[in-house]
Amino acid sequence: MLITPQHLIQWKQQNRAIAVLTAWDYAIASILDRAGIEVILVGDSLSMVALGHETTLPLTLDEVIHHAKAVRRGVKEALLVVDLPFLTYQESWQQAMHSAGRILKETNAGAVKLEGGYPAIAETVARLVQAGIPVMGHVGLTPQSVRQTGFRQQGKSHEAGEKIVAEAISLEQAGAFAVVIEHVPADLAKTITESLTIPTIGIGAGIHCDGQVLVTSDVLGLGTWKPKFAKTYLDLNALITQAVQEFGEEVRAHKFPPET
């Protein structure tokens, strides 16, 4: 079954939780898809985990399309969502239409994701949806605004929380099929989730969202740093280090390849 945005909305109604992970290449995408992850996100986090940048800001549209093409080849059933990189949609809805259109046409993705819920972004979402482009929103901590907000938890005051709730509602009204809620207090994420008829996908936002997303390199222990709210399920960094060290030792000791 090829998963669509409509499935996610149905699953919220059925109280079925949604698992979301990121991918940046064919190999990882294939594994996630076979493992039954419902949504695979080519997030702008690939700027950091695959390209070595300190933030998501340097990622270009051509780079995300390049990686999304590889991911698409490994995805058979999951809904593939691709992030719009920084400054590929904020200038105008026309710019967003061009960027999102390129992603869907060149990668065969199922949807795009963009950050923010202020009025201009809500209008952009509405324009994209009217053109037939499915859109996932993103509120709370928005990494593309790191120069303004840092990586601090958002929505801690009543006023700030009310603003995030209003942004999420405006995204649903504009036609978004789901909203990521990042790094906000759990009670605020619960309020947002209960206020929307579309699913919420939490990351560092507590247990009350309709689904959860993590960066796959954090799950696998591949990075040197991860946020406090992430969980490492496997220390792949240590396993890979051990394996390649053993290979190097065998080569230097003339034990590899074995004699035939």
Whether residue 54 lies in the annotated active site = no
Which one of the listed residues 54, 77, 182, 250 is annotated catalytic? 182
For the chain, the three-class secondary structure string (H helix, E strand, C coil) is CCCCHHHHHHHHHCCCCEEEEECCCHHHHHHHHHCCCCEEEECCCHHHHCCCCCCCCCCCHHHHHHHHHHHHHHCCCCEEEEECCCCCCCCCHHHHHHHHHHHHHHHCCCEEECCCCCHHHHHHHHHHHHCCCCEEEEEECCHHHHHHHCCCCCCCCHHHHHHHHHHHHHHHHHCCCEEEEECCCHHHHHHHHHHCCCCEEEECCCCCCCEEEECHHHHCCCCCCCCCCCCCCCCHHHHHHHHHHHHHHHHHCCCCCCCC
Binding-site members are 44-45, 83, 113, 115
Binding-site members for Mg(2+) are 44, 83, 115
Binding-site members for 3-methyl-2-oxobutanoate are 44-45, 83, 113
Residues annotated as catalytic are: 182
